[in-house]
Chains A and B, each alone.
Chain A
């Protein structure tokens, strides 16, 4: 410390590169931890209690889970509806691909067409749900009128009939989701390597074979994202159900996310512990897909550096 030629750099200056990222991260991490990470664990904690949201929580161990998995019919209906959502919602991917192939041309005004086809995704699910519920009205709804002309009469209307209601809601959900997948594929098709396509064409590939062997492999990133957002969309389905059927008729359109909300915060709810247990089950269901997504991202990251 005897030398006076250069003033000692401050601790911060010396460690700038190591400290800066943390300074930049702290606000984001605090917010995210407070509102996202901790609540996950709190929900786990609550799910082992009986709690009406007012008084003290009562520890009940795994009782909520035992009831949930031990034959709660509302739970099994919700679960199987979730499976239906997952399976049928994925139709958005081929449908989106189909429309994007149809639109991937260069004719006058095609840009406007593409935007208009994408339109449904921009509108809130609440509005889409409302519109579809009018479309499905018994007797006066366009759907009933159209199928009525070929002699089919769905008793109670699509949304009033427990056998058709869930499918009716999924169809409404598919509309914006297909638009989303379409835009992903349109972007993907833009980036398809024209030389490979030409080469394949010279080899005599066309139509479906071309699509399967040449185009689809190049669209893999788009397919991956479409898959992820569709799965998440399917498991998050809440708005449509709340707006279109409110879980009815007699609970036949419940899914886990709706059931959870109903148990916890609806007019006759406030069984927070049981609701939390449902949320935990839903979380683990989603975790399968999250893990898959993170794993494939990790593979990319390893490849990148």
Chain B
């Protein structure tokens, strides 16, 4: 879908966010081609608004925006970067960048990160760094955590659990009341990755989790088994809904809505679906994944979405200006607001939406994620390991007795993938 925003059509611009950083920049000219994967309705409006505003600030710049399907982009990006590359593209942080960095398709923009304006993004720098250089900028991120039915918790007299023992005790009460503790849909595998990220990092710590993602630890390691043993406690209790391997994450929402399951470990993007399904903020609440090993600091899944400049970009100057614009405090506050993306701004000076869940997530990630920030299983682990891994996790959730076999297979894969 092509939306061409002629600079002369600046009248269309939605609330122009004029920021000091760009008002004085010398005017940009030529053509700026942006390919974005923000194809869902709300993100799409955000992206189109961004382009319109940026165009208004740079009347001599002709911006061409192409929005592609988010799922399709995951495979399409390869072609887009190599043939007739645009100037700016969307992608994801961390290991997910590796193939394009290694193939020389992303531009090294470490110089951009030296701009004083980028200091406000320091906390995200690690996720954008590979081989000692930075390859893009983040524009949004969101927390993961446990969304639960406050009304049912109250009915059963339960509190938000802070430790694993409380978690298990809570879960027993929930099961005794004829419900399931957790809904999940593992048909497309990645949801199980979230569970592994949390249980593994809570059991063995962030450092260990990242070592595992980097292929430095064997899957048959005793510590990995500890993770699965903890997970298995929940599985053996019957904490998860049945038949989850036939359900997508959306299919798993109805049991949560109708109270058959009381909680859902998910990313914040699911809140919209819960609210659409009729849950009010009195019924829905959020807590951080409980502590398992008191000796490790909590790490959190907070996947970051990004902008990059392809190595073959034509208008690098304009592309860099656009990246600076997107990450500036005002723009960050605006695009991540409750009526826009409804997620967390990457700029520390940006305003955070007053939505209950965004506030809770912001609070959690700012003050209670000292262990580190994980990008999520399928972004931290390299592609082949991630797909084999998530398949194994799904199998484990259905047949926990197959664990030895699963771990051996994953170990085989690890030895091949990271050589």
Contacts and interface: CB of A to CB of B under 8 A. Distances in A.
Interface in B361-383: 378, 383
A54 B378 CA distance: 20
Nearest to B406: A250
Interface in A41-81: 52-55, 67, 73
B99 A268 contact: no
A73 B402 CA distance: 15
A265 B188 contact: no
Contacts, number: 72
B78 A156 contact: no
Interface residues of A, number: 27
B187 A248 contact: yes
A270 interface: yes
A160 B378 contact: no
Contact of A54 (B99, B188, B189, B246): B99
A246 B246 contact: no
Contacts of B301: none
B103 A52 contact: yes
Interface string A222-253: 00000000000000000000000110111100
A53 B246 contact: no
Contacts of B409: 73
B293 interface: no
Given A73-B409, A267-B75, A249 B245 contact: yes
Contacts of A156: 242-243, 245-246, 398
Nearest to A138: B243
A172 B15 CA distance: 53
B74 interface: yes
Given A265-B75, A268-B383, A270-B78, A54 B105 contact: yes
Contacts of A271: 384
Nearest to A263: B384
13 contacts: A54-B78, A54-B82, A55-B103, A137-B246, A139-B243, A156-B246, A156-B398, A249-B395, A251-B391, A266-B75, A268-B386, A269-B383, A271-B384
Give the 10 A-B residue pairs with the shortest CB-CB distance, closest first.
A160-B246, A268-B387, A250-B395, A138-B243, A268-B383, A249-B245, A54-B103, A160-B245, A267-B74, A157-B246
Interface of B: 71, 74-75, 78, 82, 99-100, 102-103, 105, 187-189, 242-243, 245-246, 378, 383-384, 386-387, 391-392, 394-395, 398, 409, 416
